[in-house]
Amino acid sequence: MENIKKLILNTVASAVIEEKQKLTVTVAWDKLHLLAKTLRDNAALPFDVLVYLIGMDRGEELGVNYLLSSSTDLSKELVLKTGTTDRENPLLYSVTDLFETAHFNEREVYALLGIRFINNPDMRKFFLNADWNGFPLRKDYDANPELNPLSLESVDMIDIAPRVMEVDGKLVEETVNIFGDDDYIINIGPQHPSTHGVMHFRTALDGEIVKKIDVHSGYIHRGIEKLSEALTYPQILHFTDRLDYLSANINRHGLCLCVEKASEIEVPERAQYIRTIMDELNRMDSHLLAWACQTNDLGATTAFIYGMREREIILDIFDKTCGGRLIINQNVIGGVMFDIYPDFQKDVKSFIIYMREKLKEYDRFFSHNVIALGRMIGIGNLSKEDAISYAVTGPAGRASGWSNDLRKHTPYALYDKVDFKEVIRTEGDSYARYMNRLDEIEESLHIIEQLIDNIPEGDICAKVKPIIRIPEGEYYQGIEAAKGIFGVFIESRGDKFPYRLKFRSPSMALVSVMPLICKNEKVSDFIGIGGSMDYVIPDIDR
Amino acid sequence: MDSVSKYFSGLFTGIFSLLKGMSVTWKELWTPKVTQQYPENRDTLVISDRFRAELTMPHDENNEHACTACGICQMNCPNGTIVVTSQIIETEDGKKKKILDTHQWDLGMCTFCNLCVITCPSDAIKFENTFENAVFTRSKLVQKLNNEGSSLREKKKEVKPVEPKPVVEAKPVVEAPVTEAKPVVEKKVTEEVKPEEPKAEKE
Amino acid sequence: MILNYSQPLEITNLTGWLDSALRSSMSEFWVLLIEFVLVGALLLTAYAVIALILIYAERKITAFFQARYGPNRVGKWGLLQSVADMIKILLKEIVKINRSDRFLFFAAPFFMIAASMMTFGAIPFGKGLHAVDFNIGVLYVTAVSSLGIIGVLLAGWSSNNKYSMIGAMRSGAQFVSYELSAGFALMTIVVLAGTMQFSTMIEGQRFCWNIFNGHISSVIAFVIYLISGHAETNRGPFDLPEAESELTAGYHTEYSGLQFGFYYLAEYLNMFIIASIATTVFLGGFLPIQVQGWDAFNGIMSFIPTYVWFFGKTAVLIFLSLWVRWSFPRLRIDQLLNLEWKYLLPINLINIVLMVILVLTGLTLKDIFGIM
């Protein structure tokens, strides 16, 4: 990392480098793009993954934090910070040309904090309507409902995007049409059986061929990040279950880890075992549902129900352990809330045997079916470069040949003690993503097998102060959720509430890549690709 | 000839894969189904003990509960589901004492996060697995947990450990009686919390 | 005649008795009129009843394929479920769509139901249970059943809905392609049987069904007919025009109430029609299993009424269709057209030539073993 520091100072002499939880570099707003580009193109250790992009209201100034990481080694992380004191018309430079994933994130920052990004090709508000008054995540936001009354009128979609471009050193405000005049546009969503939630794809079709997709999101945006700023950390925990509800327990684990690391709480070993086992059960639960939904998207209704049938057994185990099925509230700061029940080991072990058998059945039933193969092989190709640029993680990213399993790169809980393979395929098509999930179920079974008989006796939760205060600073914890890297960012000012809390959702990256990989595919494949990406909408609409 | 052999091998492997798929559904056709026949099986239905369906306040045979009306559950609830109202009465020996008036819980707003139960210092409330809570009007979802005419259980004997509590043994009590619902955002009351033993436990 | 054994339960006895009773008391004209009306009413009733039974059967069988119980609340084992659904559909409002072509929108379901109704009339259900026996029966059935596509195309066009439009266009492409295969498969058997009339075709199959008679060639034609028939009825894995996970409901997205009911009914009846034509053409129709020379066995088999044989054979084919439908994912439009134009049609053309050779060189089973 010393080389990196040198490189940073050579590129931008005025950069301020601090050693915090992560190496933090603060630069002026006009130097950021240059620095990010240099870091990305650094051959020895390229910082080519934009893990998160967080807009912040730092009080005086409005700013953005970027967490860069290296696609070859995700444990190498680096925070870039920049900001502007102009609160009336804040402008920063976009990094969309360097990291495609920044596109949607910058639009989100614009909607919630009002920062516009120069050179972002499409500066519409993400999540919010164009006519929303105020910027919710600013500290001086007026939440008076009269400012934004509930409208019951039907409003036509406007496919014109404003943007700020830099032409010959001058800033030009302009608008651009998303679609052509003669495009046959069809609304897939927000109410559609195969968008897996209230997602809205404006799709331009040429016969059966998809020409262009425009993603509209925010139909169930709940403002969890804003709500969290008024809640204590144990209270915020229950929001994590409501992001990606299919990997509810893993998300919760992520927030717990972040708080535990920040306030230096030691988690007892028994709790670690329970957490790891529950995480893997949850991962299988999510993958089974993903498998089921993907087959359903391809028209195989029967396979859908088979997936649900197996998932039910996991849910029963959750139910008996934690009293919840989907949202299980198992993790708390310092450990877990419920100890395992007496028959837990027996149930899990019989599930392992059962699931192995069913995996073979899935193979016979669907994985080699000639129709299914035709619907998946070579469809929705995502190259490794694009996967990295769009920060597509999880089984989908690994199907493109990018090793990004945080359980391997930055092990947490017990993942450094167990033996498991990171499932990587290089084809990058729907079938690779499909097979990755089935193989990961197998790996999860393998992990559980190693742990289930060795759960040590002891406490299930550390002694934690009734009121948890995190020391001042910025904290980030990434965790391998079922759909990819789920991250929790907390900026604390020493209070028992977070000053700013942000969840990095894997699904947002998965959706942002949809317009790219669905271009020139058939409309039925668009649905199939959506199934293979396996995004969950509440995860995007935080 | 390569394309011809490819044509036929593709045809036959394709047909074979389809038949293999059909064998799976054929097997399932004769497999006994496991779907629960609710409500016919209500008598034999097993709901796990830990299932969180309804918040309750256990009362003993003397119609006594363990709630000291400290209001910690109300403070910990993330979305204002619980409203504890209390009143100050004077006991026979002249001491001032806070007793529970109503403990009100709104099932319609509850997210079943269990925070109220694990933070309760006197184990006065717990979740039950009675899951048939459907009603026709929303107002019926707002429930009063303490029975009519119930009173606080006097701790004469040992404090009965209900269950080994996993988390925080939090025993702070709000000094001022919490008498009205506070909106979620104004939960800064916790700032002024002073740790103090609940009065009931002193005796 | 086809059956020499008398069968007390055979419907022919009843119809014959009714006919002679009417003729003895009325003039020819009135007898015919009354019989026409009776036959028409019976066919319509059968149409509705068969659809209801099929809907129930499909839901129940599907459920068992899918690890479920299926309908089990209305009546014993849910037997009255489809009746309840029918009442619901009759009571539902027929929604009028803004900016749709009202007349065509209203007319489209009738095309669909009329086409399947007309085909339904030409099916021999049993001995003497055959409303119209054309001498070009096979041709008539193929021609009339392909009218249904007009209903689908009109529905998609007149709904003023983009999903419906795509669904209808897909359906058009699919129907035109697969009609070809279905037609050729039937022609193969016409070559073998030497007739287009259903009644003579059935008579010829008394001791040797067409599917055995033409052995290799017949079996290929049978499989192709089932596949393309399945595709013609727009049922999975060929349900692209509906494709509920892509096009919500395809061409009938905007239909409600009875109009949707028509499409629903026609879909199930088309499935039945395809199965019954396959039964008639390939599996000896309503004839019982008969083996030449085994007179005692033949006698026992003939004791079962012919309509039971017919519905039994049809039910087996319908079960096969359900089994296929609920096992496979949906094809994509190019896979669908590939299957037809690259596999089914060439095989079919070769097959028809093969059949001609078999018939001309006397290599059919009947010729080889001298079966009547």
Categorize the per-residue pLDDT at B188 as very low, low, confident or very high, splitting at 50, 70 and 90: very low
Residue B75 belongs to domain with CATH number: 3.30.70.3270
Residue B105: helix, strand or coil by DSSP?
Answer: strand
**Contact assignment for B190 to A232 by CB distance below 8 Å:** yes
- The continuous run of DSSP H or E covering A63 comes out as strand A62-69
Mutation for testing the A interface, residue in C159, C325, C330 having most A CBs under 10 Å: C330
Is residue B141 situated within a structural domain? yes
- Which of B11, B18, B33 faces C67 most closely, judged by CB atoms? B33
Give CATH superfamily name and number for A224-539: Cytochrome-c3 Hydrogenase, chain B (1.10.645.10)
Determine contact: A208 vs chain C, CB below 8 A: yes
Task: Assess: ipTM above 0.90.
Answer: no
Tell me the nearest-neighbour CA distance from C139 into chain B, angstroms: 30
Judged by a CB distance cut-off of 8 A, whether residue C238 touches chain A is: no
pLDDT per residue rounded down to tens, chain C (372 residues):
444 555 666 666 677 777 788 778 878 888 888 888 888 888 888 888 888 888 899 889 889 888 888 888 888 888 888 889 888 888 888 888 788 788 888 888 888 888 888 888 888 887 777 777 888 888 888 888 888 888 888 888 888 888 888 888 888 888 888 888 888 898 888 888 888 888 888 888 877 788 888 788 888 899 899 888 888 888 778 887 777 777 777 788 888 888 888 888 888 888 899 899 999 888 888 888 877 777 777 777 777 788 888 889 999 999 988 888 888 888 888 888 888 888 889 889 999 999 888 888 887 777 777 766
Burial (0-12, 13-18, 19+ Cβ within 10 Å), B191: exposed
Q: Which of B21, B33, B34 sits opposite C327 (nearest CB)?
A: B21
Q: Does some domain include residue B171?
A: no
CATH architecture of A2-138+160-167: 2-Layer Sandwich (3.30)
| CA gap B166, B150 in Å, rounded | 29
- Partners of residue B18 in chain C, C-beta under 8 Å: 327-328
Confidence of residue A288 (pLDDT cuts 50, 70, 90): very high
Give which of A382, A402, A416 is closest to A46, Cα–Cα. A402
Q: Which amino acid is at B60?
A: D
Any domain includes B33 = no
B-interface mutation test, from A237, A364, A463, most B Cβ less than 10 A away: A364
CA of C329 vs chain B CAs: smallest distance (Å): 10
Q: Chain B: residue nearest A463 by CA?
A: B168
DSSP one-letter code for A14: T
Give the pLDDT of residue B173.
43
Parallel, antiparallel or unpaired: strands A23-26 and B172-173: unpaired
Q: Which residue of B has its CA nearest to A301?
A: B25
Stated as kind and residue range, the H or E segment containing C16 is helix C11-25
**Chains in touch with C (≥3 Cβ pairs < 8 A):** A, B
Yes or no: say if A37 and A101 are a contact pair by the CB < 8 Å rule: no
Q: What is the domain count for chain B?
A: 1
Judged by CB atoms closer than 8 Å, whether chains meet at A524 and C330 is answered as yes
Nearest chain C Cα distance for residue A298, angstroms: 6
CA–CA min distance A120, chain B (Å):
36
Please state, in angstroms and as integers, the Cα–Cα distance from residue A420 to each residue in A20, A280, A405, A439, following that order.
32, 12, 11, 11
Instruction: List all residues 6 or more positions away from B137 whose beta carbon is below 8 Å from its beta carbon.
Output: none
Which residue in chain C has the smallest CA separation from B32? C67
**Which structural domain range is residue B148 located in?**
54-152
Looking at the domain assignment, is residue B41 inside a domain? no
pLDDT for the residue numbered C288: 81
* Beta strands per DSSP E along B6-81: 54-56, 64-65
Of C68, C323, C343, Cβ closest to residue B25: C323
The percentage of chain A sitting over the pLDDT mark of 90, rounded to a whole number, equals 9
Q: Which residues pair with A162 in a beta bridge?
A: A175
When CB atoms are compared, the residue of C162, C236, C239 closest to A186 is: C162
Q: How far apart are CA A452 and CA A279, in angstroms?
A: 13
Interatomic CA distance for residues A249 and C100, integer angstroms: 49
- How crowded is the C-beta side of A55, counted as CA atoms within 13 Å? 28
Query: Buried (b) or exposed (e) across C118-148, using 16+ Cβ within 10 A?
Result: bbbbbbbbbbbbbeeeeeebbebbbebbbeb
State CA A496 to chain mean position distance.
26
Question: Which pTM does this prediction carry?
Answer: 0.85
pLDDT for residue A354: 92
Alpha-carbon distances of C14 from C8, C20, C29, C129, rounded to whole Å: 10, 10, 21, 11
Q: Which residues of C touch B29 (CB under 8 A)?
A: 61, 64-65
Tell me, yes or no, if A367 comes closer than 8 A to chain B by beta carbon. Answer: no
Q: Taking the domains of chain A in order of start, what are their residue ranges?
A: 2-138+160-167, 224-539
DSSP string, A397-422: HHTTT----HHHHS--TTTTTS----
Q: Which residues of C touch A309 (CB under 8 A)?
A: 67
